[in-house]
Structure 1
Amino acid sequence: MSILHTDAVDHILSSTVPHDDPILEEMEAQADRDGFPTIGHEVGSFLRLCARLTGARSVFEFGSGYGYSAYWVAPALGADGQIVLTEVDEAELEQAREYFERGGYADRAVFEAGDALEVIERYDGPFDLVLIDHENHRYVDGFEAVREKVAPGGVVVADNVLNSGTEMTPRDLDAFLTGGASADAGSTLEGVTEYYERVRDDPEFETTVVPVGEGLFASVRTS
């Protein structure tokens, strides 16, 4: 359960998401077996909702692992859509390719091995949906690299922004933002705060907080 809401809310959220995709079930079983962090059903269903609400046909992801987040989005893109997965671990990226092939979505996926900040330079966009889920201290760099490539009405979603194990809790972030706490240089809290302030103050984006999973910042391009 997410620490960001109650057991009852967790149960209601869980009842609204699809549980009938054997590939997702395999990916989740692998995550449990290997101790690999994934966004989970709550965030996955929110990302899919974002894709449907924006009518997304072009998606870019900073940090894909073996494709769990991207796989949630893929069904909403349609056969003419495209999602770009990026991952420095080539073995994980190959696993993502295999999962997408078996799930029937490989035709709408591009698998890019390497640093997402370098990969994004090879794409012009426009992107309807952008997922930022690499290192927290590089979130601002990711946003700066992609912001001009986000379509009007497009959404940038950053994950792991309210809770990060022992490194950061919502209380820590609130205290930092209100001047009641400090952060160590290079910490998760510092990176998340820098990102939040950047997107919050961008005149071309409107940002809100979505308290599901480990917490999301969702920024819509308004102009």
Structure 2
Amino acid sequence: MSDVLPEQTDRFVRAMVPERDDVLVEMERHGEEIGFPTVGPAVGGFLRLAARMVGAERIFEFGSGFGYSAYWFAEALPADGEIVLTEHDEDELQQAREYLERGGYADQARFEDGDALETIEQYDGPFDVVLIDCHKSGYPDALDAVREKVAEGGVVIADNAMESGIQDFEKITEIVEGGSPSDVDEETRGIADYLLEVRDSHEFETSVIPLGEGIAVSYRN
């Protein structure tokens, strides 16, 4: 069950998830077995849809794990498209490479081992879609690093905008409502500061969608 949707609504959303190929289904099982928090099929389907809606040719991920979200994105890319995966865990990055090779998408992928904030400095824009799914305290820094590299008409999507098992959703809500709660941990503060920035920025138009653990979708004006 989703942490942010009522049970009946979550059941309906899951029933509407698009069909996945065998590799994606295997990746979902793998994530469950090792306790890795992938974005899940409902969010994955939205990521693919978002990429198709903006006609994405270049995508950048802040945090890729073993490639689950990248696999969804890759399905939407043209043959000459590019997706940049970033991951500091070499084993997970190798798994991502193997999964994307099996799906026939490895030629479109760049596999970058190390810190995503350092990696993005090596790339020129524009990127049509950016996914932020790294450590939560680093969300504002990720936005600052990629802000000028997002194409006009492109989107920035931040996962875990509401929940992650780490941050305090009640305090995030209080902060974005204008409050000043005490004892805010750095993960909660990172998400809240990110949401305030994209909400109030003239560069972006943002909406939060309660799929998975909440995604903030920001359209670049």
TM-score between the two structures when normalised by the length of structure 2: 0.95
User: 8 Å contact 2:167–2:185 — kept in the other structure?
Assistant: no
Q: Structure 2 matches for 1:160-175, cutoff 5 A?
A: 160-165=160-165, 167-169=167-169, 171-175=170-174
2-side partners of 1:154 and 1:185: how far apart? Answer: 32
- Match of 1:191? 190
CA positional deviation for 1:161: 1.3
Corresponding position: 1:138 with 2:138: yes
Q: Secondary structure at the match of 1:76?
A: coil
Displacement of 1:199? 1.2
Q: Which runs of 5+ in 2 are unaligned?
A: none
Query: Post-superposition shift, 1:7?
Result: 2.3
After superposition, the Cα gap between the structure-2 partners of 1:136 and 1:167, relative to the gap in structure 1 and judged at 3 Å, is closer
- 1:203 maps to amino acid: H
Question: By how many angstroms is 1:117 displaced?
Answer: 0.3
TM-score scaled by length of structure 1: 0.94
Structure 1 position 179, deviation (Å): 4.3
Identity in percent: 55
Moved over 4 A (4+): none
In the alignment, is the contact (CA less than 8 A) between 2:66 and 2:92 conserved in 1? yes
What is the alpha-carbon root mean square deviation over aligned residues? Answer: 1.4
Size of the alignment, in residue pairs? 221
Any idea what SS the aligned residue of 2:128 has? Answer: strand
> Which residue type is aligned with residue 2 of structure 1?
S
Q: Is residue 19 of structure 1 aligned with residue 34 of structure 2?
A: no
Query: What residue number does 1:209 align with?
Result: 208
Deviation (angstroms), 1:201: 1.7
Counterpart CA distance in 2 for 1:69 and 1:183 is 34
Stretch moving more, 56-65 or 187-196: 187-196
Contact kept, 8 Å, 1:164 with 1:188, in 2: the verdict is no
Residues of 2 paired with 1:59 and 1:100: CA distance?
A: 15
Structure 1 residues not aligned, in runs of 5+: none
Q: Give how far 1:187 is off.
A: 2.7
Partner of 1:151: 151
Residues 200-209 or 89-98, more deviating: 200-209
Residue 113 (str. 1) matches residue 105 (str. 2): no
